[in-house]
Amino acid sequence: MEEMGLFQNRHNLPVTSFFFSGGWSAETGFKGHPGDYDILFMEARRVWAELMSNGVTVIHLFVTGLSVGLCAVLEAKPKNAILQAFHYDRESNQYLLGGTFYG
């Protein structure tokens, strides 16, 4: 099992590894940036391949709010991997499990 963040330098996350480096903004993948999704998808595929080659099949992902990144990670997810997405809850000041994605 590996704990990872979605985007580096986006929020203060309790992890040290990320699917995507910093530099992405709220405009990523939307208005005027339609090619961003393809870039994110290819990077997500690369990261998943590296994780799988190291025997990691379960990821706890701390989501940072850019849904286009989460979509890319989910689409690139290998069928034999499990992803658990954790979302920040402001009321409890904790990350809570928001969903588990199989197959």
Q: How many domains does the chain have?
A: 1
Task: Please give the residue range of the domain that contains residue 66.
Answer: 2-10+33-101
Q: What is the pLDDT of residue 85?
A: 96
Which residue in 95, 38, 93 sits closest to 61, CA to CA?
95
* 23 located within any domain: no
Question: Over the chain, what is the mean pLDDT?
Answer: 88
Tell whether 52 is covered by a domain. yes
Using one digit for the tens of pLDDT, what is the confidence trace for 34-82?
A: 678 888 899 999 999 999 999 999 999 999 777 888 999 999 999 999 9
More confident residue, 36 or 99: 99
Residue 16 lies in a domain: no
| pLDDT value at residue 67 | 82
pLDDT on residue 84 = 98
pTM for this structure?
Answer: 0.87
Residue 24, domain member (yes or no): no
In a domain, 18, yes or no: no
